[in-house]
Copies of this chain bind each other. A is one copy, B any other.
Amino acid sequence: PGLTHLDAAGRARMVDVGEKPVTRRVAVASGVVSMKPETLELITGGRIAKGDVLATARIAGIMAAKKTGELIPLCHPLGLDSVTVDLGPTGPGTLTITATVSVTGKTGVEMEALTAVSVAALTVYDMCKAADKDMVIGDVRLEAKSGGRSGDYRR
């Protein structure tokens, strides 16, 4: 298959979804922020600060999902049914972020899920960068997607 976002002359366009059926669609994406183990402990360990980096990143991810159509030039603007963003340690110095987005509409929401993960990860970076500038955001990818004409996808 070619690149549907380019017309026959290679020019960018927003694909016409006018004929696509309205269905319930769900997408799940994930990503990882790798950091020094002691940075991750600063985030998760202390009693007082508990949760606020994660709470802030979760909110940032949810709000970014709603901005996807503004950020990604050829994405369709969409009303969303739900967005959830989960963050938690999955190893020493490894914070994993998962976003699940659903819509009842004509296009999938994989970009919304990927955008939520990316912006949540950037927020973690921002809040911890005074302690650790070597953090790396990686493994941002689509985990699963259902409800579209092209069939379900599972990584």
- A residues neighboring B (CB under 8 Å): 1-18, 24, 31, 42-43, 46, 48-53, 55-56, 58-60, 62-64, 66-67, 69-86, 102-106, 110-111, 114-115, 118-119, 121-123, 125-131, 133-142, 145, 153, 155
Residues of B with C-beta under 8 A to A9: 48
A118 and B110 within 8 A (CB): no
- Are B102 and A16 interface neighbours, CB within 8 A? yes
Cβ–Cβ < 8 Å partners of A119 in chain B: 71-72, 118
Chain A, interface SS category: mixed
Contacts of A135 in B (CB 8 A): 141
Residue of chain B at shortest CB distance from A102: B18
A155 lies within 8 A of B134 (CB): yes
Known: A74-B127, A114-B125, A134-B141. 9 other contacts (CB 8 A): A2-B131, A3-B49, A5-B126, A12-B62, A18-B24, A56-B59, A60-B72, A111-B126, A137-B138
Tell me whether B13 and A82 are in contact (CB under 8 A). Answer: yes
The answer to whether A42 and B77 have CB atoms under 8 Å apart is: no
Closest-CB distance, A128 to chain B (whole angstroms)? 6
Query: Please, how many angstroms separate the alpha-carbon atoms of A62 and B123 in the complex?
Result: 14
A123 touches B60 (CB 8 A): no
Cβ-neighbour of A11 out of B3, B55, B138 (below 8 A): B55
Cβ B49 vs Cβ A52 within 8 A: no
